[in-house]
Amino acid sequence: MTRFAVAIAALVIGIGPALALDGPGRTLVPSTTKLQVSTKTVLTGAAGEEVSRTFIPPYSGEVRVQWEVLSGDGSNVVSGAEVQHLSSCTRESTGTGFKARACNIRVAGGMPVTVSASPDQSTNIVSLRNVGLYYTVEDADGKAIRIPGVTQLCANKNWCERRTDTCGPTGGFGKCLLTPFGKSVCAEILFQAQTCADCAAPSCTNCLCVVATAADRCNNGANGFPYICVRRVAS
């Protein structure tokens, strides 16, 4: 097992304080002009489905990721880039035309970088295009780079099941909840719904649908509706 593999394993189980580069050798540095790998093809999913593109960088380091995302019906779409267990970023958009988004993330040589877009509404159709990685390749000294712990605020949490699974600003109403597609979100509960369609505009602006799980239907009572309309909370 390489030093880098050991660092990743330690990071995943929460004991690794740092992530090593591949060096001494080469490292990636983000750039706003040096496009190294990209695809211009438009990728469009089915209604309610996530779409994604994946690239594998040649070295560890940091890159700038750029993409354009479109929301078919104008409702909220969450897009972003991720290297699993290492780093990620997300951006939201509601435009029916393609919107440019970008962020810098840490990468590891040989580990996939996935750029994806996911609709909040089950009826929305999203598209991705012009996805690319921008970076330069520079010399590296091989010393470890300390990075902040990467956590998903609501990962494996569901307020419907455990009332302690809250999120967002202190004193707020944020709760970790689960969408019908299995994605955890930090959101404020608005009202019960018979179907997820009840959470779409014009009935509810910038809302999304979550599942009312548990025996008490997420505090709605045993005979409560199966879904809840919610609105995202900044976290």
- With respect to residue 197, please indicate whether it lies within any of the assigned structural domains: yes
Residue count of the chain: 235
Rounded to two decimals, what is the model's pTM?
Answer: 0.55
Q: Is residue 228 part of a domain?
A: yes
Residue ranges in the chain whose pLDDT is less than 70:
1-24, 141-152, 181, 234-235
Are 31 and 135 in the same domain?
Answer: yes
pLDDT of residue 203: 82
Last residue of a domain, one of 88, 111, 140: 140
Euclidean distance between CA atoms 79 and 213, whole angstroms? 26
Picking from 121, 140, 159, the residue at the C-terminal end of a domain is: 140
Question: Which of 140, 173, 195 is where one domain is finished?
Answer: 140
pLDDT of residue 141: 66
Surface-to-core class of residue 226, CB atoms within 10 Å of its CB (0-12 exposed, 13-18 middle, 19+ buried): middle
85 and 160 assigned to the same domain: no
Complete edge-to-edge strand list for the sheet that includes strand 227-232: 175-178, 184-193, 227-232, 208-211
Number of domains in the chain: 2
Are 198 and 235 contained in the same domain? yes
| Whether residues 87 and 175 fall in one domain | no
CB 47, CB 125: distance < 8 Å: yes
pLDDT of residue 24: 56
For residues 157 and 221, membership in a common domain is answered with yes
| Host domain of residue 193 | 151-235
- CATH number for the domain spanning 36: value is 2.60.120.260
Both 47 and 133 in one domain: the answer is: yes
pLDDT in tens, 81-139: 998 877 888 888 888 899 999 999 989 888 899 999 999 898 999 999 999 999 999 88
- The amino acid sitting at 104 is N
Which of 232, 233, 235, 234 shows the shortest CA–CA distance to 75?
Answer: 232
Per the DSSP assignment, residues forming a β-bridge with 232 are 187
The backbone region for 206, taken as left when phi is positive above 0, alpha when psi lies in -120 to 50, beta otherwise, is left
**What pLDDT shows up at residue 147?**
42
For residue 11, being part of any structural domain is answered with no
pLDDT for residue 226 = 87
pLDDT above 70 as % of the chain = 83
As a three-state string, the secondary structure of the chain is CCHHHHHHHHHHCCCCCCECCCCCEEEEEEEEEEEEEEECCCEECCCCCCEEEEECCCCCEEEEEEEEEEECCCCCEEEEEEECCCEEEEEEECCCCCEEEEEEEEECCCCCEEEEEEECCCCCCEEEEEEEEEEEEEEECCCCECCCCCCCCCCCCCCCCCCCCECCCCCCCCEEEECCCCCEEEEEEEEEECCHHHHCCCCCCCCEEEECCCCCCCCCCCCCCCEEEEEECCC
